[in-house]
Amino acid sequence: MAADPLEREFLSDRRAFVTASSRNLGAAIATALAMKGAKVCIQYHESADVASRLVLELNARTARRHSAVQGDASSSASVSRMIADAEAALEGGIDILVNNAGPFSMAPFVSLPDAEWDQIWDTNVKAIYVAARRVAPGMRDRGWGRIVNVSAGSAYLRNHSVYGLAKNAVNFLTEELALELGPAVTVNAVAPGQIEESAIDIGEIDPTFVERAVRHTPAGRLVTRSEVASIVTLMCSPAFDMVTGVTLPVDGGWRFNRF
């Protein structure tokens, strides 16, 4: 019996670029892709030492040469530059693009500074458009490409201000890019609920949020980084060849309204 393709390194010979991936969820995604055979380029903004350590760890674990590039996902010029740097580091192009960069804000619209709006919107939304436009021609020429956007459960809320608005736009952009870039390229998104390892961060903003989120979740707990990373990797596998334009909530059912 032939081996299940998901039990082997099904991303061998694929080259992946993951934004905001020196730490946290991005690092988990980069690691998951590398462990399935991909050659990975991670991206950092200021954490050069952390990025270097992750590259060394991935090199040791996979016996392949991974890399890191610096960039600022809130700047279109910087996004274009870091895509070019990643293509060079990966020696030929990007087969898998994971748009993970996405700063958070809960500032009410009526008091939201213009600069904060621009940072949240440009990093969460415009960076996806710029990066996808940059990598799409190469993916089409090679006849295969995967773009995975990281949305969020905040897209289903109405108290997360411009961040929720931006993640709604990510979902729309995922569908539109899927229409434009098929059949060679599939474009999907993952929308995590509150991530367990990041609960402390949201707790500093709203001390009651995590307890309420767990109580409201049918699964009875928060999703983990490794679980989200596994879904992202699966979206790049043969199992998802006929899935495109989908935003997949990974939240244990947290998003459902109740009456």
Query: Residues 161, 105: contact at Cβ < 8 Å?
Result: yes
Threshold 0.85, pTM exceeds: yes
pLDDT digits (tens, 9 = 90+) for 98-155: 999 999 998 999 999 999 999 999 999 999 999 999 999 999 999 999 999 999 999 9
Beta bridge partners of 186: 146
Compute the average pLDDT of residues 213-218.
92
Contact (CB, 8 A) for 137 and 143: no
**In this predicted structure, what is the pLDDT of residue 6?**
61
Structural domains of the chain sorted by starting position, each given as residue range(s) with its CATH number in brackets: 12-195+225-250 (3.40.50.720)
- In the DSSP assignment, the letter for residue 110 is G
Residue 169: closest CA among 242, 240, 247: 247
**Peptide bond just before 249 cis, omega within 30 deg:** no
Distance CA 7, CA 135 (A): 28
Q: Is the pLDDT at 219 greater than 60, yes or no? A: yes
Residue 244 CA to residue 13 CA, distance in Å, equals: 22
Please give the single-letter amino acid code of residue 234.
Answer: L
Answer whether 138's CB lies under 8 Å from 190's CB.
no
pLDDT tens-place string over residues 86-96: 999 999 899 99
Per-residue pLDDT of 68-79, as tens digits, reads 999 999 999 999
Written as six digits, the tokens of 221 are: 């707990």
